Structure 1
Amino acid sequence: MNISGNTIFIPGSTSGIGLALALALQARGNTVIVGGRRAELLEQIAARHPGIGTVQIDTTDAASIASAAKQVLAGYPDLNVLVTMAGVMHIEDWRRPASFLTTAESTITTNVLGPIRLIAAFVEHLQAQSDATIMTVSSGLAFTPLKVTPSYNASKAAIHLLSESVRLQFAGTSVKILELEPPSVRTALLPGQEDNEHAMPLDEFIAEVVSLIETQPDAREIQVERVKYLRYGEARGDYEQVVETLNHSDPHGE
């Protein structure tokens, strides 16, 4: 993916990593459209950040995705990058079915079905572009589990293997599949995470991501240094130690 000259749609980007990445990419010379459910947040973003496009979308709703895709493509026919950013994370106790089933279903709908539906809505258009990118968003937890978020871990592992598989199908075409693999970042994804000293500061994360995109335009995975501890535990042979360390040091790991 080139760092500039793109037209980029990032659904799920009214806050956190999504919004920060949208602003950073706009600053590097891209046309950026952010998507989200809440109209008031979209209005605030448009007012505070001139030039940012906004589209209302609920990535848990197939009809909303289809409608938003039509709106985006009508307004931005040069769209060549889709970032499937939207995601949720919930703490679950799988020893008590009544406490986890609803959140598990919500997590899979948002984190797995959402990206699948988004890709389906835009893939024909992207294939018609001379240079296009689908950026998926997995997590370091796709490779090392945090015990209190089973459905989130599973959803991100699914996104990783989905990215690997779809990349094989698009080999030799104009469409690149780029997987962003964040570590824990100081956002509001979980209660208290914004102040978690073990999480990476958001501005540092975004700066490193943008640098990696710029210096590695042909990369398949965007991995900041901090995520590699989780990403490569099994390959290094210290997976069990990584699992133990993660779940001992992270406050959500109890």
Structure 2
Amino acid sequence: MKITGNTIFIPGSTSGIGLGLALALHARGNTVVVGGRRTAELERITADHPGLGAVAIDIADPDSIRAAAAQVLAQYPDLNVIVAMAGIMRTEDWHQPDTFLATAESTIETNLLGPIRLIGAFIEHLRTRPDSTIVTVSSGLAFAPLRVTPSYNASKAAIHMLSESLRLQLADTSVKVTELVPPSVRTELMPGHDTNPAGMALDAFIDEVIDQLEANPDAHEILVEQVKFLRFGEACGDYDTVVEILNAGDPHGK
């Protein structure tokens, strides 16, 4: 995607990577609409950052997605980029089926069905725009599993393959598909995640993402240097070592 002159909707941008990306893209001359469930946070963000738009959306609720899409398109008819940022990450213990199943189902509902429904709500409009982009958000854990988050890993692996498939299907349209692949980033995605010493600083991550978008607007994947260890472990023949290292230390990671 081009780095400026867009109208962008980012559900899941009231904190963390989503908010960091929203602010950075707004600073680059884009019209940015933040989205999230917490209306008080949306109000605070727009008060603190004049020029940002805000629309309430619960990515786990199909009715909320449809309502938010209608509102965004009515207020921002020039919309040409959506960033499917919203997601959750929870630990699961599959030794205890009575405890993990609800967590697994909500993870898939939010992380996989949410982006699918979001893209479905906007795809017809995006196809009418001359230069539009769907940005999906997978994870380094799509390529190497963290032991304690099975459903999160699986949801992000599915997002990776969804991105690859949509890029093929939409090749005859104006819609590009760009996959953002974060490593562990110090945010509040999980308890203790924001202080994880193995995580990448949020500002450094956002800066590297923006630099890559600027340098290569047609990139299929946005890969900061820190995530390449996970992304290419299997291709380099180091998969078993990567998995061992990933699971040897602090269990928090994105």
The alignment's TM-score, normalised by the length of structure 1, stands at 0.98
2-side partners of 1:147 and 1:225: how far apart? 23
Q: Corresponding residue for 1:162?
A: 162
| Secondary structure class of the residue paired with 1:154 | helix
Number of equivalent positions: 253
* Equivalent position SS for 1:249: coil
Consecutive unaligned residues in structure 2, runs of 5 or more: none
C-alpha separation in 2, matches of 1:251 and 1:221: 25
Give the corresponding residue for 1:42.
42
CA distance in 2, matches of 1:232, 1:5: 33
Match of 2:51 in 1: 51
Aligned AA (1:195): T
Aligned to 1:123: 123
Of the structure 1 ranges 157-166 and 168-177, higher mean CA displacement relative to structure 2 is found in: 168-177
Look up the match of 1:233: 233
Deviation readout 1:20-76 (Å, 9 max, x if unpaired):
000000000100000000110010001000000000010100000000000000000
Aligned partner of 2:70 in structure 1 is 70
Structure 1 vs Structure 2: percent identity of aligned residues?
69
- Shift of the alpha carbon at 1:229? 0.1
Aligned AA for 2:216?
Answer: Q
Secondary structure at the aligned position of 2:183 is classed as: coil
Question: 1:68-110: per-residue Cα shift (whole Å, max 9, x none)?
Answer: 0000000000000000000000010011101100100000000
What SS does the aligned partner of 1:26 have?
A: helix
Deviations 1:143-173 (A, max 9, x none): 0000000000000000000000010001132
TM-score after normalising by structure 2: 0.98
User: Aligned to 1:235, what secondary structure does the other structure show?
Assistant: coil
- Distance in structure 2 (CA, Å) of the matches to 1:218 and 1:120: 22
SS in 1 for 2:218: coil
Instruction: Give CA-to-partner distance per residue, 1:187-243, whole Å, 9 cap, x none.
Output: 001110101110000000000000000001110000000000000000000100000
Secondary structure of 1:136's counterpart equals strand
Distance in 1 (alpha carbons) for counterparts of 2:251 and 2:98 = 24
Residue 99 (structure 2) aligns with: 99
User: Unaligned stretches of 5+ in structure 1?
Assistant: none
Counterpart-to-counterpart distance in 2, 1:250 and 1:141: 14
| Residue in structure 2 matched with residue 87 of structure 1 by the alignment | 87
Q: Secondary structure at the match of 2:40?
A: helix
Task: Give structure 1 regions of 4+ aligned residues with deviation exceeding 6 angstroms.
Answer: none
Distance 2:233 2:16 in 1: 27
Partner of residue 248, structure 2: 248
- Distance in 1, matches of 2:99 and 2:67, equals 33
1:202 is aligned to: 202
